[in-house]
Amino acid sequence: MKLIVTGPRGKMGRLITQAAAKHSDIELIAGVGPSGRDYIGKDLGDVAMTGRQLGVSVVDNLESVIDSCDVIIDFSTKEMGMQVLESAVRHKKALVCGTTGFSPEEMAKFREAASSIPMLYAANTSKLVNIMNKLLEIVTTAVGDEADIEILEMHDQWKKDAPSGTSKEMGEIMAHAMGKELDDIAVYGRHGASPREKGTIGYHSLRAGNIPSSHTVYFGFMGERLEITHHSYNWECFARGAVDCGVFLADKAPGWYTIQDVLHLS
């Protein structure tokens, strides 16, 4: 599988390149970074600190290398993510996108792209988070209407979007389990509303230091509560999952694929 990674100097791009470089089924073709960076033209292995040179460069123009690849993995910014999507559709290349922070209108463009390319979007590529999502569906189906549901997510000080893409996916899964739409029941922060309105999902985002990612969903009852939590200690679990998604997508026909398909959780 011939792979291009965007943002190979970023936190995720670097780890994805490192994981891909160790994978026997993957040939890295190029990295794509922003123009003007001092590492443009340098060896991808050096830029992503894989521990060995890979014999391919980091370029600043995806269009110049895209025809040589089978799959692109993009964990960058929402602006870059939209550009990558356009190029992938134009050149009919499979795309794994793990970038978060897109608007509903932008997300619709990813869905549209699935009619012409193999497309996998995942706000969280950790295996355990996606198993947690299954647990959330079970609990919400059973007690969603009785419980006070609150999501608390924590990330590092540099994270650009809030709430996290993962917590939005979790909220959507729980809302759908209750036969509702998240937009109708999400409450961002609480401002002294009392009593708490039943059937809503509360959102709380915390940004501090270098916390990689924590998500807890609270199901509050009178006299007891259930908490379901995932903590990552670093970003490697997401990079491993992203590479698995890329390998999965390489031989697929155009269509919309999810991480549940990759993990056989559907």
Ligand X SMILES: NC(=O)C1=CN([C@@H]2O[C@H](COP(=O)(O)OP(=O)(O)OC[C@H]3O[C@@H](n4cnc5c(N)ncnc54)[C@H](O)[C@@H]3O)[C@@H](O)[C@H]2O)C=CC1
Among 75, 203, 248, 257, binds ligand X (CB under 6 A): 75
CB environment 192-201: b (16+ within 10 A), e (fewer)? eeeeeeeebb
Q: Which stretch in 97-105, 108-116, 138-146, 247-255 sits in contact with ligand X by CB under 6 A?
A: 97-105
159 assigned to active site: yes
Is residue 124 a contact point for ligand LZUJQKHR (CB under 6 A)?
yes
Q: Which stretch in 64-72, 78-86, 162-170, 181-189 sits in contact with ligand LZUJQKHR by CB under 6 A?
A: 162-170
Is residue 130 a contact point for ligand LZUJQKHR (CB under 6 A)?
no
Is residue 121 a contact point for ligand X (CB under 6 A)?
no
Among 76, 130, 140, 166, binds ligand LZUJQKHR (CB under 6 A): 166
Q: What is the secondary structure of 197-248 as a DSSP string? A: PTT-EEEEEEE-TT--EEEEEEEE-SS-EEEEEEEESSSHHHHHHHHHHHHH
Rounded Cα–Cα distance for residues 23 and 27 (Å): 8
Catalytic one of 93, 155, 204, 230 = 155
Distances in Å between the Cα of 15 and the Cα atoms of 11, 50, 157, 180, 243 are 7, 9, 19, 37, 10
Q: Which is nearer to ligand LZUJQKHR, 148 or 169 (CB)?
A: 169
User: Token pair for residue 146?
Assistant: 């009785």
The answer to whether 246 is a known ligand-binding residue is no
Rounded Cα–Cα distance for residues 12 and 242 (Å): 9
CB 202 within 8 A of CB 218: no
Binding positions:
7-12, 38, 42, 98-100, 122-125, 165-166
Catalytic amino acids?
155, 159
Residues near ligand X (CB under 6 A) are 6-7, 9-13, 32-34, 75-77, 80, 98-101, 122-125, 165, 235, 238
